[in-house]
Structure 1
């Protein structure tokens, strides 16, 4: 049986408690005391404690507004004191150490407190005082509530007269109170069950269960109020409530709340632990936070808004059925994922791509043919074939709305305007333009996209271009399609087969999207320099439009209309300040450049503008008059002497040298000089100049034909009866670092050998092209337009070509045809008659004599051109 409570004096010394510590009756509280105002009291009590161990003091908490160290006290981490004397005790250690703050005012003390008995009193040693900054450690046992009547002393410590409020008896006939007490004890057992899962000492739990049935309801309420986590206001409310029924009711509410919190905490803990794996332990805290939000009924606003936004954007994109199903599956997956997961970002990025692609968005085509013609004429001079094809597409599209876009391929040498033609095409149609550079692309994924198996995967360049354009019918330029590579990562040219096939690209499937996208509305335009390097199946899917190069007249117009205004503006000048006449521009085109395009011409014009800009700046600084007119003499001072002279006349004046026409890998034509010489030897044929197998075969055929027809050609008078007996022949093609091959040098090599053996020079400014057979027939060759334009640029006045290539001259501009004399040959004999001037003919009747070309050929030429 618990001992009787000691008598409480009417006047008590007061010990203030801080840090949200509130002592209740039946509870044990340990204090570390070091503040000066309380230490004075402890000094006196220490002297009295030796004589009277049962000292009673008042324990009064600070008001919440005055509590300088407010913090919520521990709940479930506190423990019951084993072997509690007389009453249920709950031990806590509070700090009352001097921290340099100002002394406590009596108005800062709460009006209620608890009379407490000192059950343990210790004066700390010097080392303990230095460590804890506390002079005394005192343990108090709460006895009874009291209310402060008035303060009798405030210095050096508080002393007050009190009104004691002992524990009231309750009416046993109050059924409502009995029900509340029963619920309190039941909740206490439930609390013990919950605490048993927190690994508390078994003795503590056993003592708690014993006290639930033996402790009075009022003391039990104080015990629970001291055990659970309460705010300072709630603790003070329990302290000042003397009515047992009211206090028990309020404590039951607080206890029920605490039990629910502990249950939820345990549930969250088990939920999180069940979801954690070896690779997910780093997400422990985030998972726990999500579980808390879910239990509290709170939604993750940011993530939900993001998913909802994606759903809205996908709905607005009007995806086709297949893509819509794929998007729905990924959205359901996304909702089940946490944002911190790596796959979350992969799925989210995929959905963003689906929502941002122009599945149904199109731009309206401008069906004004006159406007398109004017646009093309303003942007480009010449190129009539290309312009005609574009206008044809516009006209047919105007009549047939669902026309599939053609696949055009502009094939030609560098600098002829292939890429700018694509831009002009887009402007003429009123469509958006996107350029994809394919030079050096070796990975198939650049076209078809990467599969979504790793972070960082992206669609191919086609899909990326559509996303940037924002419409599904842009003009997409596939630049340098002939320079695609291939390696272990796949063949990009094979991946383009589906893209560039009008019958298949309506269901183009990118590996990243994994759903079909309709490319039939896209107008694809490709550019290339060499059609031979484009795979046959890919070239077959495109409509090739050849752009061979520009004549001098076309270059002059291009320079006047486009290049010169662009360079003048780019160098900070105005057309009024610099003037370059036509004859100067023509001089730049003929004497300083010999290209198919106009890039070098633009560079030379830019060099002239830079020089004039320097002179203009000097004149402006010196306040002198500036003469901006560029003359031929001034041009030579700026660019130096001419780089190209009459090389043809100089070389072909020597026997054994003949000018041929070649087609280069860049798509342009060029002059090819073939030199032949003889020396004493054993009849060996030497070939140099980095030649290919085809041109080597042409040399062998040419020499064989010359040897077999030596007597008929009259070579026996100028050479041995058996041609090459005791002689070595060396055939060389200059510019030995440049590879040379192709079946078009046969007639040129034959002419060079005949010129060598007869010691006769070929007619001035004459070039030729064509292949021969062992029977002396002249076979047709390709690239006639490019070769003729190159001859015109090189100053050639006479061209000998195969008779069967006469129709190819229809593609050559009329002004070029008028400047050159064309001679058509069916046999090698006709070639030789046209190649040598009759003024150099030998007196021998069997010697080669240059005769006028066949009149039939001239009639054929005039009737077909």
Structure 2
């Protein structure tokens, strides 16, 4: 099989072989060299590596006769031994200009395309593939066609634009494009330098009509320019982001040096670095991460001894310690849950049955929401221990909140950050204590919640649990 080793060579249109159709006699039967990842056009000069046994024998036969070989691309690039059905119907008759045997058993050849040819039939019985072919005579463009002239100018301008946008087109090729007036050769030259997919490149080779082929190449060029434009925008944006990051790093280093000279800010700078590292590893939701980073920048600009610094530091500690992305994986094995409930509690058959039912519903639902179970009974019958057993059965962390005698709704909802000694609510504290974001939370003594002038905790609980 052949695979291209380097790009299209700028020697394509140099006088290195006989002009197509002028004094050139192409045999009706030629050996086939299947190509995996390239389509070769007439007048292209390309080096190829040949490594498959059948392909090497095809090259040897061509060299022993008239040095001509038919280059045809494969439809399936991964097929090692292609048959006639695996090859495209149109290929290029080429002449082998040079051949070099390599020590690893491969053969390196230099070929130049001569003319397009249509494969009429493929002989697969011999040592290599042979094709009975018909030379395709190109239909020249009308001499005074305004459309062809416009297409030639468009293709030239598009090639220049693609080169300016970063496409790897050599200056020699650009010089040939600028001076080439033959529409057919211009179309082939442009297509060979676009690094097209095999299907698109083959669609250009299939067209014998010069004007239609030039129009097809113009479409492919415009598509390539759109891709290159977007690619350049992405590169420019990435470069701008890198420049901004480098500038921030440089300014931070200067700030550290100034603080070091003043003998201040070192501890705070270390804390800020730790907070930033925690934020990166916490995998917070985007709004929470943006707000946390905004407050971190604010903390960075504060004096270490300012009163607000301590408040903001506490808030940052709470935000970064919360288990944003740590989740316990549920174990919904009902038999195991029943066994655990029986191990921990004797009797209570109806209660256990109701708990198993709740777990079964959770198992049936693809995306179950949070479930609330209300356990009612006199002190000492095992309500709290049942909650602990459910957590063990589900393989979740267990947290118990005692709400007996709670009068302040801030205990549930949390205090304002501006208050001295402000703390988050009991629910957030329990998440922090559990270390996962889906623990089983037992709200104990919920009927003992009181209410006074400081608010109604039961109303706050209703909002939290809703």
Q: Please report how far the alpha carbon of residue 425 of structure 1 lies from its aligned counterpart in structure 2 after TM superposition.
A: 4.6
Out of 207, 212, 216, the position equivalent to 1:246 is 212
The answer to whether structure 1 residue 58 and structure 2 residue 31 are counterparts is no
Q: Please report how far the alpha carbon of residue 122 of structure 1 lies from its aligned counterpart in structure 2 after TM superposition.
A: 1.6
Q: Please report how far the alpha carbon of residue 190 of structure 1 lies from its aligned counterpart in structure 2 after TM superposition.
A: 1.2
What do residues 564-620 of structure 1 show as CA deviations (whole Å, max 9, x unaligned)?
A: xxxxxxxxxxxxxxxxxxxxxxxxxxxxxxxxxxxxxxxxxxxxxxxxxxxxxxxxx
CA contact (8 A) 1:27 1:141 kept: yes
Counterparts in 2 of 1:182 and 1:520: CA distance versus 1, 3 Å? same
Matches of residues 815-830 of structure 1 in structure 2 within 5 Å? none
The answer to whether structure 1 residue 177 and structure 2 residue 148 are counterparts is yes
CA contact (8 A) 1:475 1:522 kept: no
The answer to whether structure 1 residue 156 and structure 2 residue 127 are counterparts is yes
The answer for the alignment partner of 1:448 in structure 2 is 421
SS of 1:269 mapped into structure 2: helix
The answer for the alignment partner of 2:34 in structure 1 is 17
Out of 107, 110, 119, the position equivalent to 2:97 is 119
Q: Please report how far the alpha carbon of residue 59 of structure 1 lies from its aligned counterpart in structure 2 after TM superposition.
A: 0.8
Q: Please report how far the alpha carbon of residue 254 of structure 1 lies from its aligned counterpart in structure 2 after TM superposition.
A: 0.7
Matches of residues 216-231 of structure 1 in structure 2 within 5 Å? 216-231=182-197
- Distance (whole Å) between structure 1 residues aligned to residue 426 and residue 69 of structure 2: 87
Q: Please report how far the alpha carbon of residue 423 of structure 1 lies from its aligned counterpart in structure 2 after TM superposition.
A: 6.6
- Distance (whole Å) between structure 2 residues aligned to residue 40 and residue 465 of structure 1: 77
Out of 47, 54, 59, the position equivalent to 1:42 is 59
Q: Please report how far the alpha carbon of residue 38 of structure 1 lies from its aligned counterpart in structure 2 after TM superposition.
A: 2.0
SS of 1:113 mapped into structure 2: strand
Out of 232, 239, 253, the position equivalent to 1:273 is 239
What do residues 655-712 of structure 1 show as CA deviations (whole Å, max 9, x unaligned)?
A: xxxxxxxxxxxxxxxxxxxxxxxxxxxxxxxxxxxxxxxxxxxxxxxxxxxxxxxxxx
What do residues 115-146 of structure 1 show as CA deviations (whole Å, max 9, x unaligned)?
A: 1111111223xxx22xxx41x21111111101
What do residues 481-515 of structure 1 show as CA deviations (whole Å, max 9, x unaligned)?
A: xxxxxxxxxxxxxxxxxxxxx9xxx9xxxxxxxxx
CA contact (8 A) 2:99 2:109 kept: yes
The answer to whether structure 1 residue 194 and structure 2 residue 194 are counterparts is no
Counterparts in 2 of 1:227 and 1:520: CA distance versus 1, 3 Å? same
Counterparts in 2 of 1:30 and 1:216: CA distance versus 1, 3 Å? same
- Distance (whole Å) between structure 2 residues aligned to residue 147 and residue 117 of structure 1: 17
Q: Please report how far the alpha carbon of residue 521 of structure 1 lies from its aligned counterpart in structure 2 after TM superposition.
A: 5.1
Out of 55, 60, 68, the position equivalent to 2:78 is 68
Q: Please report how far the alpha carbon of residue 433 of structure 1 lies from its aligned counterpart in structure 2 after TM superposition.
A: 8.7
What do residues 364-418 of structure 1 show as CA deviations (whole Å, max 9, x unaligned)?
A: xxxxxxxxxxx9xx99xxxxxxxxxxxxxxxxxxxxxxxxxxxxxxxxxxxxxxx
Q: Which runs of 5+ in 1 are unaligned?
A: 70-100, 282-305, 311-326, 335-344, 354-374, 380-421, 437-444, 450-458, 478-501, 507-518, 524-865
SS of 2:30 mapped into structure 1: strand
- Distance (whole Å) between structure 2 residues aligned to residue 348 and residue 238 of structure 1: 64
- Distance (whole Å) between structure 2 residues aligned to residue 25 and residue 347 of structure 1: 70
CA contact (8 A) 1:150 1:162 kept: yes
Q: Please report how far the alpha carbon of residue 464 of structure 1 lies from its aligned counterpart in structure 2 after TM superposition.
A: 4.9
Aligned residues: 294
Q: Which runs of 5+ in 2 are unaligned?
A: 1-13, 250-284, 296-314, 324-377, 381-401, 432-440, 459-466
Q: Please report how far the alpha carbon of residue 24 of structure 1 lies from its aligned counterpart in structure 2 after TM superposition.
A: 1.1
What do residues 549-573 of structure 1 show as CA deviations (whole Å, max 9, x unaligned)?
A: xxxxxxxxxxxxxxxxxxxxxxxxx
Matches of residues 570-589 of structure 1 in structure 2 within 5 Å? none
SS of 1:195 mapped into structure 2: coil
Q: Please report how far the alpha carbon of residue 225 of structure 1 lies from its aligned counterpart in structure 2 after TM superposition.
A: 1.4
CA contact (8 A) 2:91 2:205 kept: yes
Q: Please report how far the alpha carbon of residue 25 of structure 1 lies from its aligned counterpart in structure 2 after TM superposition.
A: 1.3
Q: Which has the higher contact order (CA 8 A, sep 6+)?
A: 2
Out of 199, 203, 206, the position equivalent to 1:237 is 203
- Distance (whole Å) between structure 1 residues aligned to residue 172 and residue 60 of structure 2: 40
What do residues 257-286 of structure 1 show as CA deviations (whole Å, max 9, x unaligned)?
A: 1122122212211211111124999xxxxx
SS of 1:190 mapped into structure 2: helix
- Distance (whole Å) between structure 2 residues aligned to residue 157 and residue 474 of structure 1: 90
CA contact (8 A) 2:31 2:131 kept: yes
- Distance (whole Å) between structure 1 residues aligned to residue 226 and residue 26 of structure 2: 42
Out of 71, 74, 84, the position equivalent to 1:106 is 84
CA contact (8 A) 1:112 1:148 kept: yes
CA contact (8 A) 2:57 2:127 kept: yes
Out of 137, 141, 148, the position equivalent to 2:108 is 137
CA contact (8 A) 2:136 2:208 kept: yes
Counterparts in 2 of 1:205 and 1:461: CA distance versus 1, 3 Å? same
SS of 2:36 mapped into structure 1: coil
Q: Please report how far the alpha carbon of residue 213 of structure 1 lies from its aligned counterpart in structure 2 after TM superposition.
A: 2.7
- Distance (whole Å) between structure 1 residues aligned to residue 427 and residue 123 of structure 2: 89
CA contact (8 A) 1:10 1:163 kept: no
- Distance (whole Å) between structure 1 residues aligned to residue 133 and residue 147 of structure 2: 33
Q: Please report how far the alpha carbon of residue 185 of structure 1 lies from its aligned counterpart in structure 2 after TM superposition.
A: 1.4
Q: Please report how far the alpha carbon of residue 41 of structure 1 lies from its aligned counterpart in structure 2 after TM superposition.
A: 2.5
- Distance (whole Å) between structure 2 residues aligned to residue 280 and residue 242 of structure 1: 59
- Distance (whole Å) between structure 2 residues aligned to residue 221 and residue 465 of structure 1: 71
Q: Please report how far the alpha carbon of residue 168 of structure 1 lies from its aligned counterpart in structure 2 after TM superposition.
A: 2.8
- Distance (whole Å) between structure 2 residues aligned to residue 423 and residue 108 of structure 1: 76
Matches of residues 654-693 of structure 1 in structure 2 within 5 Å? none
- Distance (whole Å) between structure 1 residues aligned to residue 154 and residue 36 of structure 2: 31
CA contact (8 A) 2:18 2:24 kept: no
Counterparts in 2 of 1:22 and 1:425: CA distance versus 1, 3 Å? closer
Matches of residues 290-305 of structure 1 in structure 2 within 5 Å? none
Counterparts in 2 of 1:229 and 1:331: CA distance versus 1, 3 Å? farther
- Distance (whole Å) between structure 2 residues aligned to residue 260 and residue 17 of structure 1: 32
CA contact (8 A) 1:180 1:249 kept: yes
Q: Please report how far the alpha carbon of residue 23 of structure 1 lies from its aligned counterpart in structure 2 after TM superposition.
A: 1.0
Counterparts in 2 of 1:43 and 1:232: CA distance versus 1, 3 Å? closer
What do residues 508-531 of structure 1 show as CA deviations (whole Å, max 9, x unaligned)?
A: xxxxxxxxxxx55569xxxxxxxx
Q: Please report how far the alpha carbon of residue 105 of structure 1 lies from its aligned counterpart in structure 2 after TM superposition.
A: 2.1
CA contact (8 A) 2:91 2:119 kept: yes
CA RMSD of aligned residues (A): 4.9
